[in-house]
Amino acid sequence: MRFPLFIATLMFLQPSVAHAESAAGEILEDDLRGHIEILASDGFAGRKPGTIGENKTVHYIATEWRKAGLQPAAGADSWYAPVALVDRTSLSESFAFQYDNGKRVKSVRIDDDQLLLRGAKPISSLSNIPLVHLGYGNQTVEEMEPVISGKLALMFLSSRPGVNGFPGYRERKANVIAAGASGVITVIKSESRFARAARRFRTANTSLDGEGKHADMEGIIGWKAVTKLLRKVDLDAEDLRDEAKSEIFQPLLLDIYADLSAETQVRSYVSHNVIGKIAGRDPASGAVLFLGHWDHLGECGPKNADDRICNGAVDNASGISLLIETAKRLTDGKSDRDIYFLATTAEESGLLGARAFAENPSFQIDRLVAVFNADTVALAPNGKLIAVVGRGETDLDEDLEKVAAAHDRKIDKTDKANAFIKRQDAYVFLERNIPAFMITSAFSDQKRLDSYLEGRYHDASDELDDQLLLGGAVDDANFHVALGRYFGNVETYKAKNAPNSAANSAGD
């Protein structure tokens, strides 16, 4: 009785790969639904990086791509590129502040619930460290370095002080750390926003493991505490906030010193990007990249809920299913350029997998003529406008119009979807001047998108049921195949930015 069982196990462990499953013809709803059903099942546990859900997910994607006829492209014959991550969970902190009133040093009492700290190490402390009011921290690294190096930065959170193209919070904080700040304390003015941030602060914060990405100490402080601190040195918090918005604002060294210590749970682990490749006939002509994030949130439902698993059917099992089916259609040997497929990890923690890939790519990314990110494609019925996140950012808009026109599709010209440009994996490539887009008809209908964002988005209810609309996803998937054909072929698309293209070797 045992022998047949043993055979069965072996067969399970070795998926049949005798024939490639490259497919011709249109992608259909059932093609996508089949993958979503698996990726968004409870067995995949919400696809959280570093869990059993990750193992199942990355294995599934690599298996599907291998069946489609792709080659592994993470380096050394592997599908999996390791991404070192670290989770930091703030456990407790203590702090004391002193100021110099010109005659002697006095201490200021700050309420316990007004300041939360997280250390880079399990036990971190800074003593007698001077505070610098950095405004929004939007000066250049070089400008900030002389005044902030080795000190504690007080920095406002707000990302929109009325200036277009103002850098986001994450970018500003990274610059402050690059300028050598030992600590960064973010000032949050709104009480309700501070309360929300405080709750989040006690849950794990995920980041790429590596030097220089963290200050020794990071924290958040409430408006009441900041107002009190500044008043001691005859400064007004409201005034400083207004001044920080002006272009001539200069960081201000304060006569305030802090002793800070924090206890932090630090967990390091390795997650993975999955990378596959379709070799082109003329690799010197460049490459095209399709990507999408495989990760989701694991369990995110309320503590006592029956169903706590956040299956992420829309976000982003839908995008991964699109990538699997698109790959199958493009393995027929008709592409001049190499076509790469990348499934990223830890997008939900701030595009970390995409950033890790761009910092340490397994192929030369300056060969890329176009990048397409598939995220959140299952919200609209078929026949909707195509929203192009990244429209107006590159010189590829006309080419996208051409592909759309050839396939009876129309592109949304409102550019509203660009509001999401920094919140999706393609942004990492745009930052490096590589033309990159997120293309989805799910983002062209603001009302529909809003109701998703207020409802199922990052909620346990984002699962596969009959509310999931796959008509638009199918449109988008077939459009991605068309994009692969167009940008993969040197006849249809003569690269403007490829290293070996005529435009670049013209000697100008």
Stretch that binds Zn ion, among 11-19, 315-323, 406-414, 428-436 (CB under 5 A): 315-323
Stretch that binds Zn ion, among 70-78, 158-166, 343-351, 437-445 (CB under 5 A): 343-351
Q: Which of 326, 316, 328 is nearest to 290 (CA)?
A: 326
Stretch that binds Zn ion, among 44-52, 100-108, 220-228, 308-316 (CB under 5 A): 308-316
Q: Which residues pair with 152 in a beta bridge?
A: 131, 183
> CA–CA separation, 8 vs 332, rounded Å?
33
Question: How many CB atoms neighbour CB 279 within 10 A?
Answer: 14
> CA–CA separation, 462 vs 310, rounded Å?
7
DSSP 166: P
> CA–CA separation, 255 vs 266, rounded Å?
33
Q: Which of residues 27-86 bind Zn ion (CB under 5 A)?
A: none
Shortest approach of Zn ion to residue 314 CB, angstroms? 9
Stretch that binds Zn ion, among 205-213, 259-267, 300-308, 342-350 (CB under 5 A): 342-350
- For residue 165, the SS3 value is coil
* 368-373 and 123-133 beta bridge pairing: unpaired
Nearer to Zn ion, 347 or 399 (CB): 347
Nearer to Zn ion, 311 or 497 (CB): 311
Shortest approach of Zn ion to residue 310 CB, angstroms? 9
Q: Which of 31, 87, 295, 315 is the binder for Zn ion (CB under 5 A)?
A: 315
Nearer to Zn ion, 292 or 390 (CB): 292
Question: How many CB atoms neighbour CB 149 within 10 A?
Answer: 12
Nearer to Zn ion, 87 or 348 (CB): 348
> Residue 295 interacts with Zn ion (CB under 5 A)?
no
Nearer to Zn ion, 293 or 391 (CB): 293
Shortest approach of Zn ion to residue 93 CB, angstroms? 29
Stretch that binds Zn ion, among 228-236, 310-318, 332-340, 398-406 (CB under 5 A): 310-318
Residue with the CB atom nearest Zn ion in the bound state: 315
Nearer to Zn ion, 271 or 335 (CB): 271
User: What single-letter amino acid sits at 2?
Assistant: R
Shortest approach of Zn ion to residue 413 CB, angstroms? 26
Tokens 């007698």 found at: 128
Stretch that binds Zn ion, among 3-11, 189-197, 203-211, 314-322 (CB under 5 A): 314-322
Nearer to Zn ion, 337 or 456 (CB): 456
Shortest approach of Zn ion to residue 348 CB, angstroms? 5
> CA–CA separation, 72 vs 171, rounded Å?
33
- Cα–Cα distances (Å) from 463 to 44, 441, 456, in that order, read 12, 19, 8
Stretch that binds Zn ion, among 63-71, 309-317, 350-358, 475-483 (CB under 5 A): 309-317
Nearer to Zn ion, 14 or 203 (CB): 203
Size of the site for Zn ion (CB under 5 A): 2
> CA–CA separation, 200 vs 116, rounded Å?
11
Shortest approach of Zn ion to residue 87 CB, angstroms? 17
Nearer to Zn ion, 348 or 463 (CB): 348
Binding mask 345-374 for Zn ion (x = CB under 5 A): ---x--------------------------
Shortest approach of Zn ion to residue 306 CB, angstroms? 22
Shortest approach of Zn ion to residue 501 CB, angstroms? 35
Shortest approach of Zn ion to residue 375 CB, angstroms? 8
Shortest approach of Zn ion to residue 392 CB, angstroms? 24
> CA–CA separation, 329 vs 28, rounded Å?
12
Q: Which class for 238: exposed (0-12), middle (13-18), buried (19 or more C-beta within 10 A)?
A: exposed
Question: Residues 437, 372: contact at Cβ < 8 Å?
Answer: yes
Angle between helix 318-329 and helix 52-68 axes, rounded to 10 deg: 20
Question: Residues 315, 449: contact at Cβ < 8 Å?
Answer: no
Nearer to Zn ion, 96 or 204 (CB): 204
Shortest approach of Zn ion to residue 295 CB, angstroms? 9
> CA–CA separation, 385 vs 404, rounded Å?
10
Stretch that binds Zn ion, among 9-17, 157-165, 196-204, 313-321 (CB under 5 A): 313-321
Q: Which residues pair with 259 in a beta bridge?
A: 96
Shortest approach of Zn ion to residue 462 CB, angstroms? 9
Q: Count Cβ neighbours within 10 Å for each residue of 437-462 and write b for 16 or more, e otherwise.
A: bbbbbbbbbeebbeebeeebbebbeb
User: What single-letter amino acid sits at 49?
Assistant: P
Cα atoms found within 13 Å of the Cα of residue 57, Cβ hemisphere only: 37
Q: Count Cβ neighbours within 10 Å for each residue of 123-148 and write b for 16 or more, e otherwise.
A: ebbbeebbbbbbbbbbbeeeebbebb
Nearer to Zn ion, 314 or 470 (CB): 314
Nearer to Zn ion, 348 or 399 (CB): 348
Question: Residues 206, 349: contact at Cβ < 8 Å?
Answer: yes
Using CB under 5 A as the criterion, which residues of the chain lie in contact with Zn ion when the complex forms? 315, 348
